Structure formats: structure tokens, C-alpha cells
């Protein structure tokens, strides 16, 4: 891409022109991931995996702070385990990859599966049943509870229509699984972990979310209640960014998780499960990226500051590089979000302008350009990724170093407030069925401030909870109840049935 083209927009098509294609181009330009030769799977490249590592690091600390410990369970699950929980197996049956043979033999120049297994093994779509088998061995007495376990792993769900990070046949995630002596403790755990996810989404990802309960039609297979965090993307669709499930005693009964209570009675445990995945990276892209590429929230950015030496004359190179190395050392001595500032010096032998645009597209929060003239003034030339590419200014070197943590937090806060304002602008209270249908069916006019050609947004509407009505509106308009917000709401009347409604729910088109 030429500099002239890049100066206008680094990503084509733009969000306004073709949002789905724009999303894929941002991933490509930021060098986050690529499609694999294995159908439906992706290769996560170093910059993308560094984002996932930072997500893991932050969440893992939050899980451990709430008393959870990590373990690991098998990738393969006997089919008989899934059959024990009827609703669960029905919910995942169409997405399962199944291993039926255990070796290959060469015949006529081709490798042929042989050695059929006595029992087929499902490649982990989720681990409630296999973890339940272990819990049944580990739990004997009320003294063994609560059992608070988390697993970082990969899962396979055989998706037909895939999209990088959002929906792939194999993806990375964490899944928490806990067992408790009482219903109250399990419910408390379910809500606690939902709060952890919301905290992470808002304070680390700078992505505002609504916490709420799923309707019966959107509930996790086999769960008693499913709770979620829902975020609005820049095309005004919803993204389910995390879920927390109260499983009641359903899985405990299926897996035989029993314990002797303090009264000497044999009881089934109460269990929960909860998880987030690499889908969070897709959510981060669609919440913050613009037509110049990715924008990384500083708390998760693989690198906070990119130093770009600008050298026109060969004789200046050595002293400019030395200056930049010292700047890197001084910046790394500063702290942000409880860790040293992450700094990369890009001293590749290529044009400075090309390097600048590469880092803009990768979403690095701060770019620093340093040339001989800047050195003479002991200053640096600074650009912030939450500002326009041309919004750069010189700063005294010492001042920049001293304020780098404040600058990073300013970017983090600005991204959150921008996303929150966007959600507020495209959330509407609706009280009639006619207005509801018009909101999701009628195209909106493009404008300079909101060019995205998509219908609707979040509709806050009373609802009587009828699953048949929800299914009808999904078929008719492609919208679903994303959640029933936890926040208090005023009772009212369902505009579709005229029946009473306890509170408004969030309707939207979704990923």
C-alpha cells in the first residue's frame, strides 16, 4: 500500500463499506492470525497470541484471587459420559468431532484408519462430563467442598461457518468448574465469576458490558440458569463475551458427585461452570479498531510503547540508536497496571514512515519517533493510537518518561468512554411492536459520525418470556433476547402480547 493510500485509510474496505471484510482485513493488517490448512481452524500469530497471553495472565490472577486453582483434564471424552446428561449431549451433538480409530495403516499408497475403538471418543467441546467424573472421585465429604477448579485448554466445536477469533472449529479458552455443598454457595459462585468477567471486560479490555441472565432458549445445555456479559460491537450487533452457569444438581446426579453432609446424609453436590475464550480478541477488535487498523487497550497491548529511530544519514545511526536504547531502558523502569512498561525498539533497516504505519495497524498504544533534531532538544515525537495518525507532537524526553503510565491510562479510559458512548447512542427503549420491527428492519441513513450501514442496535423492551415468541422474532428479524439485565428495572407490559413484564430485556442481532 502506498503512503498516499495509507494516509487516507490503512484498511480497505472500511467499516462503512463492508464491515465483515473490514474485520478480516484488520486481523490481516495487524498480523494477528490466519486461516489454517485445517478446515475451520486458525493459526494465531505472535502479536495475536501475545494478546491472549495477557488476557490469560490477568484473568488467571483474578481467578486465583477468588480461591480457584488450575488443573488439566483429558482432551478426549467417552461418548457414554455425554450420554449421561441428556440435555447437554443434545445441545452439543451436532458440533462434536469424534475419534473412532486408534491407528493408521498404509494401503495402496494411502493411510487408512484401522483399529476401531471399543467406545468412540469425543474431542472436548466442553468438559462438564469428564471433569464431573474426576469430581465424583475427589468429593466424599462436605469437608472436600467447595472444589474450585479452572482449566486453560482448547476445545473443538465443528462449526460450519467460521470467522477468525469469533467462531472457529478449534479455539482456546478457560473453563471453570466448581462443586459446592449448598445451592446458595453455588449461586453465589455463579454470580461472583460473572462479576469477575465484567470487571475484566471493562477495566482491562475497555469494553462496556451488560450483565444479565439468558432466557431458556439461550441457556447452556443442561444448566438451570445461564448468566452472561453482552457487549455492543461497532456494527451495533451484540457479542456474548463470557458466560457463567448455575448447573444445579443436574451434572452432579449424572456424574455421581455425592458427599456426606455434616448431618451424615448422602447428598448430591451443586455445581457451576463458567468460561471465556479467544472470542474476546474478536470482541476487542470490533469494539476499538478503526479504518487504520487495530487499537489495543494498553492493559492488554503486547507492547505499550514502540520506539522508532528516524535516521536519514548513515553517520547519525549509531548515536540515534544509542539514544533510543537508553530511552527504552528508562521507560521499562516505569510501571503501568502493576507491571513494567512494555517497550519495543524497531530498528529495522526500512523507511520510518512504513514502520509507523505498521505499528498503527497493529494498534500499539504509543509510538515514539526519535531523530537527530529531537536528540538535540532532548525531546521525543509522540503519537497516541486513540488519536488520528497525524496528531503527533514533541515532548521533553524526561516529561514523557515521567508521564508514560498516566498517558497509557488516559488511552485506556478514552477507549472505554468512547465505546460506552457508542453503546448509549445506539440503545433505545421501545414500547410498541411496530417500533420494534421498524428499529431492526429499516435501514439507517449513513452520517459522518456513524457511517456503519447496519440496522438497529440494542432495543430495551418489555417481554413476557414466551420462548415461542422469542423464536418467532428470531426467525422474522434475526434478533434474540441477549440477556435479562441484572440491574433493577420497572415492571411494564410486553408490547407483543400485552402481558405483564417484570423488567426490560436486551434485544439485538448477535454474533
| Residue 362 grid cell | 497493529
Is it the case that residue 473 has pLDDT exceeding 80? yes
In a domain, 280, yes or no: yes
Range of the domain at 335: 305-422
Residues 52, 172 contacting (CB under 8 angstroms): yes
Separation between Cα atoms, residue 122 and residue 117, nearest integer Å: 12
- Cβ atoms within 10 A of the Cβ of 58, count? 20
Residues 491, 503 contacting (CB under 8 angstroms): yes
Per-residue pLDDT at 84: 87
Q: Are residues 100 and 148 in the same domain?
A: yes
Q: Are residues 322 and 452 in the same domain?
A: no
Q: Are residues 194 and 323 in the same domain?
A: no
Assign 274 a pLDDT band (cuts: 50, 70, 90).
Answer: very high
In a domain, 1, yes or no: no
Is it the case that residue 50 has pLDDT exceeding 70? yes
Separation between Cα atoms, residue 250 and residue 248, nearest integer Å: 6
CATH number, domain of 339, equals: 3.40.50.800
3-state secondary structure 338-391: CEECCEEECCCCCCHHHHHHHHHHHCCCEEEEECHHHHHCCEEEEEECCCCCCC
Per-residue pLDDT at 190: 98
Assign 446 a pLDDT band (cuts: 50, 70, 90).
Answer: low
Is it the case that residue 445 has pLDDT exceeding 60? no
pTM: 0.94
Q: For 175-203, how does the pLDDT look when each residue is reduced to its tens digit (9 = 90+)?
A: 999 999 999 999 999 999 999 999 999 99
Per-residue pLDDT at 89: 74
Residues 417, 386 contacting (CB under 8 angstroms): no
Q: For 386-441, how does the pLDDT look when each residue is reduced to its tens digit (9 = 90+)?
A: 999 999 999 999 999 999 999 999 999 999 999 999 999 999 999 999 999 999 98
Is it the case that residue 87 has pLDDT exceeding 90? no
Per-residue pLDDT at 56: 98
Assign 442 a pLDDT band (cuts: 50, 70, 90).
Answer: low
The pLDDT of 22-49, averaged and rounded, is 97
**Percentage of the chain surpassing pLDDT 90?**
91
Separation between Cα atoms, residue 436 and residue 456, nearest integer Å: 9
| Residue entry with cell 429499516 | 442
Q: Are residues 32 and 81 in the same domain?
A: yes
Torsions phi, psi for 141 (to 5 deg): -130, 160
In this structure, which long-range contacts are made by residues 154-160, counting pairs with CB atoms below 8 Å and at least 24 apart in sequence?
154/75, 154/124, 155/124, 155/125, 155/126, 155/127, 155/277, 156/97, 156/123, 156/124, 156/125, 157/92, 157/95, 157/96, 157/125, 158/40, 158/94, 158/95, 158/96, 158/97, 159/40, 159/95
Q: Are residues 412 and 441 in the same domain?
A: no
| Residue 228 grid cell | 452472561
The pLDDT of 122-151, averaged and rounded, is 97
Q: Are residues 409 and 480 in the same domain?
A: no
36: helix, strand or coil: coil
Q: Are residues 179 and 92 in the same domain?
A: yes
Q: Are residues 434 and 411 in the same domain?
A: no
Q: Are residues 360 and 326 in the same domain?
A: yes
Q: For 353-363, how does the pLDDT look when each residue is reduced to its tens digit (9 = 90+)?
A: 999 999 999 99
Per-residue pLDDT at 6: 40
Beta-strand ranges (E) seen in 157-257 are 170-180, 210-213, 225-232, 238-248
Separation between Cα atoms, residue 158 and residue 95, nearest integer Å: 4
Q: What is the mean pLDDT of the chain?
A: 94
Q: Are residues 448 and 406 in the same domain?
A: no
Per-residue pLDDT at 5: 39
Residues 125, 155 contacting (CB under 8 angstroms): yes
Per-residue pLDDT at 7: 45
Assign 449 a pLDDT band (cuts: 50, 70, 90).
Answer: low
Separation between Cα atoms, residue 384 and residue 386, nearest integer Å: 5
Per-residue pLDDT at 86: 73
Pick the last residue of a domain from 368, 402, 422.
Answer: 422
Q: Are residues 237 and 340 in the same domain?
A: no
Q: Are residues 337 and 438 in the same domain?
A: no
Assign 452 a pLDDT band (cuts: 50, 70, 90).
Answer: very low
**Looking at the 3D structure of the chain, how many domains does it have?**
3
295: helix, strand or coil: coil
Amino acid at each position: 500500500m502506498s503512503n498516499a493510500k495509507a494516509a487516507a485509510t490503512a484498511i480497505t474496505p472500511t467499516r462503512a463499506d463492508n464491515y465483515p471484510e473490514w474485520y478480516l482485513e484488520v486481523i490481516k493488517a495487524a498480523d494477528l492470525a490466519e486461516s489454517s490448512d485445517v478446515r475451520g481452524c486458525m493459526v494465531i500469530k505472535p502479536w495475536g497470541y501475545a494478546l491472549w497471553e495477557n488476557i490469560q495472565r490477568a484473568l488467571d490472577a483474578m481467578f486465583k484471587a477468588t480461591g480457584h486453582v488450575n488443573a488439566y483434564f483429558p482432551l478426549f471424552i467417552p461418548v457414554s459420559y455425554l450420554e449421561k446428561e441428556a440435555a447437554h449431549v443434545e445441545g452439543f451433538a451436532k458440533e462434536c468431532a469424534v475419534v473412532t480409530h486408534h491407528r493408521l495403516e498404509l494401503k495402496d499408497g494411502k493411510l487408512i484408519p484401522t483399529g476401531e475403538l471399543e467406545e468412540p471418543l469425543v474431542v472436548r467441546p466442553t468438559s462438564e462430563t469428564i471433569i464431573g467424573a474426576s469430581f465424583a472421585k475427589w468429593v466424599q465429604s462436605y469437608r472436600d467442598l467447595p472444589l474450585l477448579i479452572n482449566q486453560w485448554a482448547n476445545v473443538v466445536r465443528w462449526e460450519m461457518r467460521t470467522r477468525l477469533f469469533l467462531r472457529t472449529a478449534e479455539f482456546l479458552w478457560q473453563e471453570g468448574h466448581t462443586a459446592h455443598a449448598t445451592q446458595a454457595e453455588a449461586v453465589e459462585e455463579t454470580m461472583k465469576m460473572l462479576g469477575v468477567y465484567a470487571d475484566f471486560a471493562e477495566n482491562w479490555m475497555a469494553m462496556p458490558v451488560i450483565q444479565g441472565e439468558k432466557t431458556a432458549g439461550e441457556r447452556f445445555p443442561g444448566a438451570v440458569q445461564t448468566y452472561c456479559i453482552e457487549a455492543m460491537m461497532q456494527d451495533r450487533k451484540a457479542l456474548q463475551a463470557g458466560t457463567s452457569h448455575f448447573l444445579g444438581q443436574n451434572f452432579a446426579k449424572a456424574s455421581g458427585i455425592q458427599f456426606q453432609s455434616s448431618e451424615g446424609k448422602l447428598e448430591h453436590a451443586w455445581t457451576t461452570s463458567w468460561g471465556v475464550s479467544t472470542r474476546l480478541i474478536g470482541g476487542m477488535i470490533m469494539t476499538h479498531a478503526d479504518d487504520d487498523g487495530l487499537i489495543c487497550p494498553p492493559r492488554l497491548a503486547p507492547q505499550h510503547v514502540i520506539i522508532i529511530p528516524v535516521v536519514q544519514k548513515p553517520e547519525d545511526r549509531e548515536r540515534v540508536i544509542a539514544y533510543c536504547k537508553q530511552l527504552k531502558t528508562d521507560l521499562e523502569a516505569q510501571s503501568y497496571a502493576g507491571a513494567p512498561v512494555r517497550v519495543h525498539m524497531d530498528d529495522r533497516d526500512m523507511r520510518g514512515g512504513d514502520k509507523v504505519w505498521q505499528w498503527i495497524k497493529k494498534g500499539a498504544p504509543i509510538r515514539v519517533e526519535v531523530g537527530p533534531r529531537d536528540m538535540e532538544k532532548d525531546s521525543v515525537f509522540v503519537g497516541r493510537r486513540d488519536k488520528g495518525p497525524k496528531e503527533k507532537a514533541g515532548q521533553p524526553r524526561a516529561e514523557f518518561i515521567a508521564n508514560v503510565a498516566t498517558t497509557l491510562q488516559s488511552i485506556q479510559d478514552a477507549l472505554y468512554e468512547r465505546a460506552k458512548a457508542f453503546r448509549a447512542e445506539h440503545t433505545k427503549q421501545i414500547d410498541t411492536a411496530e417500533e420494534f420491527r421498524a428499529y431492526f428492519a429499516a435501514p439507517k441513513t449513513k452520517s459522518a459520525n456513524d457511517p456503519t450501514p447496519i440496522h438497529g442496535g440494542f432495543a430495551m423492551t418489555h417481554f413476557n418470556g414466551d420462548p415461542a415468541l422469542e423464536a418467532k422474532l428470531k426467525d422474522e428479524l434475526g434478533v434474540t433476547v441477549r440477556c435479562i439485565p441484572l440491574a433493577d428495572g420497572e415492571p411494564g407490559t410486553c408490547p407483543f402480547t400485552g402481558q405483564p413484564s417484570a423488567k426490560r430485556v436486551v434485544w439485538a442481532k448477535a454474533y
